[in-house]
Amino acid sequence: MAACYVLKKNEKGQYSFVLKAGNGEVILRSEQYESRSAAEGGIASVQKNAADEARYERKDASDGRFYFNLKAANHQVIGTSQLYKSATGRDDGITSVKNNGATTTVKTE
């Protein structure tokens, strides 16, 4: 399986997407968007910014786990990772987004 974005609509009519690595694991989650076109714009922003190291904000959760945010040039968060047990796991997640973020494959659910 190749990396892909999965775009979905929730029961409230809002859209969101996830970026999945080639192994099917979710490596980035978006915020909720009011329209499909706004969510597609979020995907385009991930595609544009994923390769840029400066766009990643490494964070520590209050429970001691680690995560990251991918930010656009305007500093808005485009997507957030899962929680990782180690900083190394978080950094591996960033590498995965860098490697997979440029995919143009978008699936809908």
Closest CA to 90 of 30, 27, 32, 41: 27
Predicted confidence at residue 109, as pLDDT, reads 87
Whether the predicted pLDDT of 1 surpasses 80: no
- Structure confidence at residue 29 (pLDDT): 98
Could you say which DSSP state residue 16 is in? E
- Residue 103 makes CB contacts below 8 A (sequence gap 6+) with 2, 3, 4, 5, 19, 47
For 54-102, what is each residue's pLDDT tens digit? 999 999 999 999 999 999 999 999 999 999 999 999 999 999 999 999 9
Look-up of token digits 């991918």: 70
What digits encode the pLDDT tens for the residues 10-35?
999 999 999 999 999 999 999 999 99
- CB 33, CB 12: distance < 8 Å: no
Q: What is the pLDDT of residue 46?
A: 97
DSSP 26: E
Note the pTM of the prediction, 2 decimals: 0.94
